[in-house]
Amino acid sequence: NAGVTQTPKFRILKIGQSMTLQCAQDMNHNYMYWYRQDPGMGLKLIYYSVGAGITDKGEVPNGYNVSRSTTEDFPLRLELAAPSQTSVYFCASSFGQGGEETQYFGPGTRLLVL
Amino acid sequence: GDSVTQMEGPVTLSEEAFLTINCTYTATGYPSLFWYVQYPGEGLQLLLKATKADDKGSNKGFEATYRKETTSFHLEKGSVQVSDSAVYFCALSDLGANSKLTFGKGITLSVRP
């Protein structure tokens, strides 16, 4: 099992550019999440999905979009990059709901917007 | 809303020293509690968890006990190693919240040889 994979590892964007951060998991997990991690802060939830075709906003969704067409993939789209989106982005997945489920994290994508 | 408060860092210890990292929480429901660890250049991974009051989670010599009366989940290790150098995050997941995790700010631990 590869677990949760993310691409790219690192990217520099100019203000106003767009890009898609890729996330895939091979554990057949229903739940998937996108977080951002800013220096000295905990992780903030951007969007999450409870299954293919179902997505919902997290704590900080502005400036991002997601889709979930398959169980395995959960891409995160930045439409008009802004310096405030400079961060490290983590994708995670879990098997189901219940509050006690362990989330499995990818290695992260470091994004710099200049 | 739910929140997690961790002690301020960073923390620097000598090898074999005793470690305590404080974590307290506020939750409307009856949460599960987690400690995640992030080694340099990597994603987060689960260190340990507890799902009900008085449960003790343990892994790799680390322990934490779910204390409902003090709303705390402090992380302890009796003898730290250089390889324990990492960022440690306390988190909670409230039942019925679609397994969404609420994280503390994290604390950086550096262990000197």
Phi then psi dihedrals of residue A113, to 5 deg:
-110, 120
A35 bridge partner residues: A45, A90
Cβ contacts of B25 within 8 Å, gap of 6 or more? B2, B3, B4, B5, B31, B33, B71, B72, B73, B90, B92
- pLDDT digit string (tens) for B8-40? 889 999 999 999 999 999 988 788 999 999 998
How many angstroms separate the Cα of A32 from the Cα of each of B46, B59, B74? 16, 25, 28
Give the burial class of A21: count Cβ atoms within 10 A of its Cβ; 0-12 exposed, 13-18 middle, 19 or more buried.
buried
| pLDDT attached to residue A85 | 96
Strands B107-112 and B11-14: parallel
Q: Which helix (DSSP H) or strand (DSSP E) does residue B2 occupy?
A: none
| pLDDT attached to residue B41 | 83
- Mean of pLDDT over chain A: 92
Signed CA dihedral, A60, B4, B61, B51: sign only: negative
Three-state DSSP class for A89?
strand
DSSP A69: S
| pLDDT attached to residue B94 | 77
- pLDDT digit string (tens) for B71-103? 999 999 999 999 999 999 999 987 665 667 889
Q: Is residue A111 pLDDT above 60, yes or no? A: yes
The torsion defined by the Cα of A58, B96, A70 and A86, in degrees rounded to 10, comes to: 20
Contact A100 B42 (CB under 8 A): no
| pLDDT attached to residue A97 | 63
Confirm if A55 and A69 have CB atoms less than 8 A apart.
Answer: no
For the segment B56-80, the average pLDDT, to the nearest whole number, is 97
| pLDDT attached to residue B8 | 84
Pick among B25, B98, B103, B107 to test the A interface (most A CBs inside 10 A): B98
DSSP B15: T
Contact A101 B99 (CB under 8 A): yes
DSSP B99: T
Confirm if B90 and B34 have CB atoms less than 8 A apart.
Answer: yes
Please report residues of B whose CB lies closer than 8 A to that of A55: none
Nearest chain A residue (CA) to B39: A107
| pLDDT attached to residue A99 | 61
Q: Of A37-51, A92-106, B45-59, where does mean pLDDT reach its minimum?
A: A92-106
For the segment A71-78, the average pLDDT, to the nearest whole number, is 97
- pLDDT digit string (tens) for A35-67? 999 987 889 999 999 999 999 999 999 999 999
Pick among B99, B102, B105 to test the A interface (most A CBs inside 10 A): B99
Confirm if B50 and B56 have CB atoms less than 8 A apart.
Answer: yes
Closest CA to B88 of B57, B109, B59: B109
**What are the structure tokens assigned to A3, written together?**
């677990």
Whether residue A47 lies within 8 A of chain B, CB to CB, comes out as no
